[in-house]
């Protein structure tokens, strides 16, 4: 599939729907044809998060923080326009919403610090793009699918019901989250310092030190909370950071933020049970991003004992291999806790990978994981 031209969101500057550096937001749009002309797929691009001014400033000089550095991406996998690779959606209207805010499209801070000139406007980007797509024909959609990968997969869950509410009741709406099920769990790799010795495993707590949880809270407030220990002190710290920095709290599901800290409402397991719109989860139980950045992040392993293991389980010690298995069990437990629902489905495999719907080889190629039924 060839590259699709970038479209700058009309009036994005006037609406404040801008990237981290203040440049206009953007998307790529490949129009549907034939029988798919009234069907729409909106895919939210991934790209992690920024939880601090320093990190957001760095990203502002890249395509994940500025449309100035974006280039048109090829539409592959679920976005491919070739029937051979994408038989179900090749002729739909397919949109890739470019990610340049660092908050999974949840940030909304009006003020701009003149010292940094950083903008935290992810939620405005989402709204502005949706408004433009509705005006371009999505308001008449027969079927509409919101999808996303990684940070975009998380955004898909957080925005799924909002997406449903933007469309007529006659439109059939569903959501697909790929590699976006970041878990809040206890019990894995715990990193701490005892005197001058770094202790890499401590089974009282599930995951790297204290960064997972605080990270998301900083995102929510940067782009407006903290508790817990462990697999997730890394991701929880990250969430805390994002929520604080980005002013994300007001754009998270209100029923969730009314009963728990906004940072917890970044976790799918606390949001999905009350979702009204049908959701399908695609995730690996050995998700590479979570293993590399949550289970065994670099800063928690200065000696590099996990350097090879986290990329290849065959290079792990027995203790490290057990940590991998513990991580898998944590993901399975988090998903199983959702219970059964006719409006939810999932495909969870054991591939060591991240994002399976966006590449031809994983989506419909010879090496793809497929149910032939």
User: Is a pLDDT exceeding 80 seen at residue 16?
Assistant: yes
User: Is a pLDDT exceeding 50 seen at residue 364?
Assistant: yes
How many domains does the chain fold into? 1
- pLDDT of 185 reads 62
Instruction: Tell me the per-residue pLDDT of 155-178, one tens digit each, with 9 for 90 and over.
Output: 999 999 999 999 999 999 999 999
**Which span out of 161-175, 239-253, 282-296 was modeled with the highest average pLDDT?**
161-175
Q: What percent of the chain has pLDDT over 70?
A: 84
pLDDT classification of 233: cutoffs 50, 70, 90: low
**What is the phi/psi pair of residue 130, to 5°?**
-60, -40
Residue 369 falls inside a structural domain: no
Residue 126 falls inside a structural domain: yes
Residue 368 falls inside a structural domain: no
- pLDDT of 239 reads 78
- pLDDT of 347 reads 96
- pLDDT of 175 reads 99
Can you give the C-alpha Rg of the chain in angstroms?
A: 20
* Contacts (Cβ under 8 Å, ≥6 apart) of 7: 26, 27, 28, 29
pLDDT classification of 227: cutoffs 50, 70, 90: very low
User: Is a pLDDT exceeding 80 seen at residue 115?
Assistant: yes
| C-beta of residue 103 within 8 angstroms of C-beta of residue 56 | no
CA distance 129 to 104: 14
Indicate the range of 58-62, 99-103, 305-309, 364-368 predicted with least confidence.
364-368
Residue 78 falls inside a structural domain: yes
| pTM of the entire predicted model | 0.89
- pLDDT of 190 reads 38
CATH of residue 152's domain is 3.40.50
- pLDDT of 25 reads 99
User: Is a pLDDT exceeding 90 seen at residue 238?
Assistant: no
Please give the positions annotated as active site.
Answer: 150, 287, 354
- pLDDT of 212 reads 53
Residue 371 falls inside a structural domain: no
- pLDDT of 370 reads 56
Structural domain for 146, as ranges: 6-363
Q: Which residues of 315-341 are buried (b: 16+ CB within 10 A; e: fewer)?
A: ebeeebeebbebbbebbeebbeeeeee
Beta strand 6-8 pairing with 26-30: antiparallel
Residue 1 falls inside a structural domain: no
Instruction: Tell me the per-residue pLDDT of 300-310, one tens digit each, with 9 for 90 and over.
Output: 788 899 999 98
Residue 113 falls inside a structural domain: yes
User: Is a pLDDT exceeding 80 seen at residue 62?
Assistant: yes
Residue 372 falls inside a structural domain: no
- pLDDT of 367 reads 57
User: Is a pLDDT exceeding 50 seen at residue 142?
Assistant: yes
User: Is a pLDDT exceeding 70 seen at residue 104?
Assistant: yes
- Bigger pLDDT: 206 or 134? 134
Instruction: Tell me the per-residue pLDDT of 170-220, one tens digit each, with 9 for 90 and over.
Output: 999 999 999 999 988 653 443 333 333 333 333 333 334 444 566 676 776
């Amino acid at each position: 599939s060839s590259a699709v031209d970038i479209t700058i969101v009309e009036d994005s500057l006037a609406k404040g729907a801008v990237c981290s550096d203040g440049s206009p937001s953007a998307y790529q749009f490949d129009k549907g044809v034939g029988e798919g002309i009234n069907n729409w797929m909106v895919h939210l691009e991934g790209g992690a998060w920024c939880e601090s001014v320093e990190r957001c400033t760095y990203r502002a000089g890249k395509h994940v923080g500025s449309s100035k550095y974006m280039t048109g991406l090829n539409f592959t996998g679920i976005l491919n326009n070739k029937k051979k690779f994408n038989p179900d959606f090749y002729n739909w209207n397919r949109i890739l919403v470019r990610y340049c805010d660092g908050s999974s499209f949840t940030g909304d801070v009006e003020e701009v610090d003149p010292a940094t000139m950083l903008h935290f406007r992810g939620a405005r980007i989402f709204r502005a793009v949706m408004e433009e797509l509705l005006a371009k024909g999505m308001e008449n959609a027969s079927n509409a699918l919101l999808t996303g990968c990684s940070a975009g997969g998380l955004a898909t869950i957080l925005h799924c019901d909002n997406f449903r509410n933007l469309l007529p009741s006659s439109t059939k709406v569903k959501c697909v989250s790929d590699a976006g099920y970041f878990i809040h769990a206890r019990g894995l790799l715990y990193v701490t310092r005892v005197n001058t010795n770094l202790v890499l495993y401590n089974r009282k707590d599930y995951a790297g030190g204290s960064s997972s949880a605080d990270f998301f809270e900083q995102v929510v407030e940067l782009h407006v909370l903290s508790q817990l220990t462990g697999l997730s002190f890394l991701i929880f710290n990250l969430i805390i950071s994002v929520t604080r920095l980005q002013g994300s709290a007001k754009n998270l599901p209100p029923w969730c933020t009314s009963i728990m800290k906004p940072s917890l409402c970044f976790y799918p397991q606390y949001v999905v049970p009350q979702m009204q719109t049908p959701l399908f989860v695609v995730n690996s139980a050995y998700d590479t991003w979570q293993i590399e950045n949550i289970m065994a992040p670099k800063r928690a392993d200065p000696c590099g004992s996990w350097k090879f293991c986290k990329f290849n389980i065959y290079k792990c010690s027995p203790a490290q291999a057990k940590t991998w298995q513990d991580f898998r069990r944590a993901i399975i437990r988090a998903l199983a806790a959702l219970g059964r629902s006719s409006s939810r489905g999932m495909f969870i495999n054991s591939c060591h990978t991240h994002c399976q719907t966006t590449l031809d080889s994983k989506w419909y190629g010879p090496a793809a994981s497929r149910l032939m039924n």
